[in-house]
Amino acid sequence: MALDARYERSRALVFAAVQSVLVIDGVAGLTTDRLAAVSGVSRSTIYRNWPDLAILTCEVFEELMHRDAVDFTADPVQALRDYLVDYARRLNDATYCAVLIALIEASSRDDIFADVHRRTFSQTRSRAADIIRRGQEQGVFRADVNARVGVEDIVAPFLYRRLVTQRNISARQVTELHQRLIGAWSPPS
């Protein structure tokens, strides 16, 4: 194999290993030894390419965040629904959720994690804020909806449900939240 192909193969194996170790053993299981055992990639290769496991975990998370990124439709009401469906799908994914929790856990103590955490969540937030802004421009959402609070209303309920009640988010709950938000944000007719 060419060097690049060999690197890509190791990368895919190691990234998959980070995900499964986080799901099975959590942050505490993340060691170079364990990643080598799970991935089949040698310790020295892992150490050479990813000397810092915090940075490696962040790369894995960023890749997960951007995987299957959805393009939202122009209609803000439908785009809000697409956003909620996509967000619920991500949170319902055990791997995504495990990596997210690992990131939250590590962020409280490690600046590298905290930076990635802030960056990825500010992307999530800005996509939600865009939908609110577009809805206001088109007159389907009230002009006095505060974008910061509105974004929280979109993302906080599902995050709470997954992390605290630890249940999957159902299709019905997506529909309910969508209707509540539209109800609260529609201009008086």
In the complex, the residues that contact a copy of itself under the rule CB under 8 A are: 23-28, 30, 97-98, 101-102, 104-109, 114, 117-118, 121, 149, 152-153, 155-157, 159-161, 163-166, 176, 180, 184
Cβ atoms of 67 and 29 within 8 Å: the answer is no
Residue 187: HSE in the Cβ half-sphere, 13 Å Cα cutoff: 11
Distance in Å, CB of 65 to a copy of itself, minimum: 13
Q: Decide whether 55 or 184 has the Cβ nearer to a copy of itself.
A: 184
Q: Decide whether 108 or 189 has the Cβ nearer to a copy of itself.
A: 108
Question: Coil, strand or helix: which one is 108?
Answer: coil
11 vs 123: CA distance, rounded Å: 25
Distance in Å, CB of 150 to a copy of itself, minimum: 11
Instruction: Say how far residue 21 (Cα) sits from the centre of its chain.
Output: 18
Distance in Å, CB of 105 to a copy of itself, minimum: 5
Distance in Å, CB of 89 to a copy of itself, minimum: 18
Q: Decide whether 11 or 125 has the Cβ nearer to a copy of itself.
A: 125
- Cα-based angle 40, 43, 45 (whole degrees, multiple of 5): 90
Q: Decide whether 165 or 189 has the Cβ nearer to a copy of itself.
A: 165
Instruction: Say how far residue 180 (Cα) sits from the centre of its chain.
Output: 23
